[in-house]
Copies of this chain bind each other. A is one copy, B any other.
C-alpha cells in the first residue's frame, strides 16, 4: 500500500509522505501496545482493580501519556473489547463465504470461536462488563453481540432446514452452545492442562453430538472399556474421530 512515489532527483530521501505514513504507523503500534498491556492486566486483575498508572508503568511511560491515545480508561476497555469483536467478525465472514450444511458451518464456528476464547482479546469479549462502557459504546457492543448470537442461530436454523441438525429451538440451542464456548474464556489458562486446539476439537464434537449413548452406536455389547482409567491423560488428543464419520 505504501507505493513510493517517484523519487525526486536530488539526493534527498524520496517521498515526504513516507515519514508521515511511518509516523502514523508508529502511533498505531503504540496504541496497540497499550491495548495489549491493558487487556492483559484487565483480565488478570479485573478492570476496576487496574489503575491507569499500572498500565502506563508496564509500558515504561506515565499515566498522562496514555491520554495521547485514548480519551479515558473506559475507551481503552472498549477498544480491547472491539479487538475481540473484530476477530469474531472476520471468522464469521469467512465461514459465510464458504459453503456447507448448517451443521458444518456451526462446527466451523464452534471450532474457531473456541480457539478465540483462549486468546486475550477473545476472552475480553465475555469477561468485560459492558456496564463499564459509556452508553454509546455499550450500544455498539450490544449490537455486535447480537450479531454474533444471530449467526449461531442462523446456522442452527439453517441446519434444521437442511436436515443436518435435529429439530430444536434455535435460540436456546444457540444459548447453550455459546454459553459453553464463552465459559472457556473464564477457565482457560495458558499453562493449563489443555491446549486451545484440544479444547476446540473436543468442544466441536461434544457440543454437536452430545453425550448420551442412547440411540447411537453401542449396538455392540456395552463392554466396559477402560475399566479404571477414564480420562487417560491426554486421552482425546489424537485426531478426533467424530463417531461414525461426520459430515
A residues bordering B, Cβ < 8 Å? 45-46, 48-49, 96, 99-106, 129, 131-132, 150, 153-173, 175-184, 186-187, 193-194, 198-199, 202-203, 205-222, 224-231, 233-247
Complex-state Cα separation, A96 to B45, whole angstroms: 36
**Inter-chain contacts of A219 with B (CB < 8 A):** 217, 219-220
Chosen A-B contacts, 24 in total, with CB atoms closer than 8 Å, are: A45-B131, A49-B131, A101-B231, A101-B233, A101-B240, A160-B230, A161-B227, A163-B230, A166-B211, A166-B216, A166-B224, A167-B225, A168-B206, A169-B231, A171-B193, A175-B184, A179-B179, A179-B180, A207-B210, A215-B218, A215-B220, A216-B217, A219-B220, A234-B247
CB < 8 Å: which of B156, B160, B173, B218 contacts A166? B218
**Inter-chain contacts of A163 with B (CB < 8 A):** 213, 218, 222, 224, 226, 228-231
**Inter-chain contacts of A150 with B (CB < 8 A):** 247
Number of copies: 2
Smallest beta-carbon distance A168→chain B, Å: 7
Complex-state Cα separation, A164 to B212, whole angstroms: 6
**Inter-chain contacts of A209 with B (CB < 8 A):** 210-212, 214
With contact pairs A208-B212, A210-B209 given, residues A164 and B231 touching in the complex (Cβ less than 8 Å) = yes
Complex-state Cα separation, A230 to B154, whole angstroms: 11
**Inter-chain contacts of A193 with B (CB < 8 A):** 171
Smallest beta-carbon distance A235→chain B, Å: 5
